[in-house]
A and B are shown apart, each in its own frame.
Chain A
């Protein structure tokens, strides 16, 4: 066939036989194994039985016979011994030859190369999937970031608009406050609204030629709602708009306010108020309190340390209970003296460590001497900010000083 001398053909055959560990099998048309030879043990086929089913003994032949084409090659088939063989199958007229040639070494070498190639391929596929996921996540993040930026801008615009409205409200609250007076007695005040705008407001005016009304109120809570109510109450008092009420009688004024401003009709807001009427000819001060901190009367001009006396009053805040009856107290203001009227924001100052300043500390500052014409009110405000550790206070800071 190779057109070679028999000597060379025989040598080639011997070469294949020595290098490929040849084994051979013969199967008849009844699929019985009729012959087996060569290096059967090498492939783990040494216990084959002649005249027994070839399929039962040689699973690699299962279903292949009769061959549809000849020769037929099964490449790199794992054998029972663990060796790997190329199986060449030749169909003859009434039987089939099966020749096994060892390719274990070539199989192992090729498998190593294939292993490397597949490992690399799987790795690069995994990397590509990872990159795709990262890119998708990045895209999502970019979109989310853009949405967030838009939301933030919208929030900032809304916040700025609200701030502007708060400042407008603050200006209005300040605008309705009376100007300080110097004659026939001096009245000065300091009012510093909190950042959120609070519910403090106050006023003073002559009721008639002898009676002078002085009042300060603090609506619960913060914000525009509280400020609106405080402004309304002050406007009511200033304009004398309470029906059938003698504004020279503090307990009557508080009673009328309580009827007019019940919290159910005021969006659940209520307020504390101190209302006093100073009778200038007699020097008598008649006052009533609706849950408000007591004003402090301090003797002297302020050049030396003075004596303090709280003007305590009884009564629950306005708006909480419709049936409440207020009463009043009286005292005589003997000069030289100063009457300090304030809201809780003037003394309930939170320190940076979270603790709250005591009322006694505030009272003590009021009695201190402030020589050299320094403003007592500025000193107090400075003191409050120093205790708080910040220029902006948590609550409205309101204080009125009446100097007799």
Chain B
């Protein structure tokens, strides 16, 4: 069976682990539990008629002290850049990570996930920044690990882009 390594990267606390849990186990918890190192999950999806096993690497988030280890993305067929829409600065972190990942593993499919999209009243990412992303040709999904909005669709889209 086709097997693809997919990495979740972004600033700390943006909801990478919650997105994986929502996608793989269909559960969500409001409690924030930080990730140290890497958690690996598997999920089989279908792209067209072909089943594909996604090896999901949930990599510890980046903070002011520790950068993510881009070497962990070696062998990745795609990745998600996760942003917390209630913290505008996490978009800058995602952009910075993208540049370093590209330098490390070259050009592979990736999607921007604007997570916590259910928290509309606390939305802080400026509309202009989102326009810039879209104008640059990046694919952006609005997701909520809490409600499930956009999660399944985002993983399916990345799987499609990795396989086709």
Identify the A interface with B (CB < 8 A): 55-56, 59-60, 62-64, 68, 72, 74-78, 84, 107, 110-111, 114-115, 117-119, 121-122, 125, 129
Contact = CB atoms under 8 A, between A and B. Distances in A.
Contact of B32 (A56, A63, A78, A119): A119
Contacts of A55: 3
B79 to A, nearest CB: 12
A119 B36 CA distance: 14
B44 interface: no
B12 A64 contact: no
A63 B108 CA distance: 13
14 contacts: A55-B3, A59-B40, A59-B55, A63-B5, A63-B75, A76-B37, A76-B38, A76-B60, A77-B40, A111-B36, A115-B33, A117-B63, A122-B13, A122-B32
B38 A77 contact: yes
B75 to A, nearest CB: 2
A47 to B, nearest CB: 15
A307 to B, nearest CB: 79
Given A64-B74, A122-B13, A129-B124, A114 B36 contact: yes
Interface in B35-85: 36-40, 42, 55, 60, 63, 69, 71-72, 74-77
Looking at chain A's contact residues, the main secondary structure is helix
A168 to B, nearest CB: 56
Contacts of A74: 38, 72
B40 to A, nearest CB: 5
Contacts of B161: none
Contact of A68 (B32, B33, B74): B74
Interface residues of B, number: 25
8 A-B pairs with least C-beta separation = A63-B75, A76-B37, A78-B39, A62-B5, A111-B36, A59-B55, A115-B34, A63-B5
A68 B87 CA distance: 36
B24 to A, nearest CB: 13
Given A62-B75, A119-B32, A125-B87, A75 B37 contact: yes
A78 B38 contact: yes
Contacts of B42: 59
Nearest to B35: A111
B71 A72 contact: yes
Contacts of A117: 63
Given A111-B34, A115-B34, A62 B13 contact: no
Given A59-B55, A122-B13, A129-B124, A114 B38 contact: no
Nearest to A109: B36
A110 B34 CA distance: 10
B13 to A, nearest CB: 6
B37 A78 contact: yes
Nearest to B38: A77
Contacts of B74: 63-64, 68
Contact of A62 (B3, B33, B36, B69): B3
Contacts of B77: 63
Nearest to B37: A76
A77 B37 contact: yes
Contacts of A115: 33-34
Residue of A56, A72, A111 with highest tally of chain B CB at under 10 A? A111
A56 B37 contact: no
B34 A63 contact: no
A63 B76 contact: yes
Nearest to A56: B3
Contacts of B63: 117-118, 121
Most buried by A among B12, B34, B60: B34
A244 to B, nearest CB: 79
Contact of B36 (A56, A107, A125): A107
Interface in B1-40: 3, 5, 12-13, 32-34, 36-40
